[in-house]
Amino acid sequence: MEDKLKELKKAMDSTTLKGRHFTEIQESKIRRAVHHPVETKSPNPFMIFIMTTVALCLIGFFVSTELMVNKNGSINGSPNTWEVHHDYKENHNVLFSILPDPDLHAGKAYGYIFSFKEPFDTFKGKELSISATHKKTGERIEVMEPQNITEPSKGYSSMQRFTASFQVPYGGLWRYEVYLDGKVYGNVVVNVEEESPVTLPEDIPEYVQESDIHHIDWDRKATTFGTNMTGNGGKSGIIGADMPSLNGQKWMWHLWDTDASDLTVVAYQRDSGTVQPILDNGESWTIPLGGENNGADVHAPSSVTIPERGEWAFVLYADGELFDVVVMEIAN
């Protein structure tokens, strides 16, 4: 037993439990650490500047992005994109909707129904107008002049059925903006088809062009002047155009500032889009012109038949040259 105890004592003396375990230098460092704790190193000012700048930039980026979305992504909460939308919304509530004509085409007036949802007091006594902006060209036009709102839509408590009729000159996407007293109320985006092609009869004179029909100014209405003349004063006038013409009538054509010998009349009906002759009761395109009469430089009598009611444009050619367009409503 004693031999085993001696061996155990000898083994323990050979371990770290015996002898000097720290040098004087190590002991000195331990004492300094106890009496003088390690000081926290001050941050580098340059790094603080860099980190602050990055943080501010990130904040500015997210704020400006949000503002940009609010500015470019919406007008008063409604999508301001060029995607077709017929409803204008604010806070997910529809303020108004538009119902365009299913056959909507450029270059021709069509009717629109605007259905406003807010109470009539929102509109009463205010001026309502509509502007249109074309996506492709950026052209902006006022399609409906300001109208003073004095009463609700007929048969309704508010403006649930406000109607407007106007045309836009080009096909493509159009943004219609509604204004109240000159301030934007909302907008919708409508896709307008290109102009319907005009089919010219085979026997029409070759100098008549489709573009002459497309460029008709429907707002330039014929007026009455002189001795019961209807037309465009100082350019062209018709005696008899104020008489019923659906079953035939005698018209006297007058032209100013020309010495042409032939008059060609191309009749275009706006609603049907048809082109046809009306001279000699629909048998002729062209008649000879005579001399001065009723103050005009040349004139010509003819029989005419207008085949149907509606808005008509009579496109006049003097000796094969486009001369004038007389726009009028034929009622009977």
Lookup result for tokens 């000879």: 288
pLDDT of residue 198: 83
Where is the domain boundary, 166, 192, 218?
A: 192
| Domain match, 188 and 242 both | no
Q: In angstroms, what CA-CA distances link 190 with 83, 99, 105?
A: 9, 10, 11
pLDDT of residue 117: 97
pLDDT of residue 71: 39
Cα 132 to Cα 23: distance, rounded to the nearest angstrom: 92
| Domain match, 220 and 325 both | yes
| Domain match, 309 and 276 both | yes
Where is the domain boundary, 145, 162, 192?
A: 192
Tell which residue, 116, 141, 111, has the closest CA to residue 126. 116
Beta carbons of 324 and 232 less than 8 angstroms apart: yes
CA atoms within 13 A on the CB side of 122: 14
Tell which residue, 268, 277, 332, 324, has the closest CA to residue 298. 324
pLDDT of residue 5: 53
> Looking at residues 317-323, what average pLDDT do you find?
98
Strand pairing partners for 252? 239, 301
Q: Is residue 81 very low, low, confident or very high in pLDDT (cuts 50, 70, 90)?
A: confident
pLDDT of 296 over the 60 cut: yes
Q: Cα–chain-centroid distance for residue 122?
A: 24
Q: Would you state the structure tokens that stand for residue 1, as one six-digit string?
A: 């037993």
Tally of structural domains, the chain = 2
In a domain, 314, yes or no: yes
pLDDT of 98 over the 70 cut: yes
Domain residues for the domain of 257 are: 210-330
Beta carbons of 212 and 322 less than 8 angstroms apart: yes
pLDDT of residue 276: 94
pLDDT of 145 over the 60 cut: yes
pLDDT of residue 293: 94
| Domain match, 153 and 217 both | no
Strands (E) in the chain, as ranges, are 74-75, 78-79, 87-90, 93-100, 110-116, 127-134, 140-148, 162-166, 172-180, 183-192, 223-225, 229-232, 236-239, 249-255, 262-269, 274-276, 286-288, 298-304, 310-318, 321-330
Q: Would you state the structure tokens that stand for residue 315, as one six-digit string?
A: 């496109």
pLDDT of residue 36: 56
| Domain match, 187 and 253 both | no
| Domain match, 182 and 238 both | no
pLDDT of residue 139: 95
In a domain, 165, yes or no: yes
Cα 139 to Cα 315: distance, rounded to the nearest angstrom: 28
Beta carbons of 308 and 269 less than 8 angstroms apart: yes
pLDDT of residue 16: 46
Q: Is residue 199 very low, low, confident or very high in pLDDT (cuts 50, 70, 90)?
A: confident
In a domain, 318, yes or no: yes
pLDDT of 129 over the 60 cut: yes
The CATH number covering residue 86 comes to 2.60.40.3830
Cα 11 to Cα 2: distance, rounded to the nearest angstrom: 14
pLDDT of 137 over the 50 cut: yes
Beta carbons of 214 and 169 less than 8 angstroms apart: no
Q: Is residue 105 very low, low, confident or very high in pLDDT (cuts 50, 70, 90)?
A: confident
pLDDT of residue 44: 67
| DSSP per position, 257-326 | S---SEEEEEEEETTTTEEE--HHHHTBSEEE-BS-BTTBSEEEEEEE---S-EEEEEEEEETTEEEEEE
> Looking at residues 297-324, what average pLDDT do you find?
96
Tell which residue, 194, 175, 170, has the closest CA to residue 83. 175
In a domain, 138, yes or no: yes
Where is the domain boundary, 135, 157, 192?
A: 192
pLDDT of 300 over the 90 cut: yes
pLDDT of residue 148: 97
Q: Cα–chain-centroid distance for residue 18?
A: 96
pLDDT of residue 80: 61
pLDDT of 83 over the 60 cut: yes
pLDDT tens-digit profile of 8-53? 556 555 544 444 555 565 556 556 655 555 555 555 666 666 777 7
pLDDT of residue 195: 78
pLDDT, the chain, mean: 85
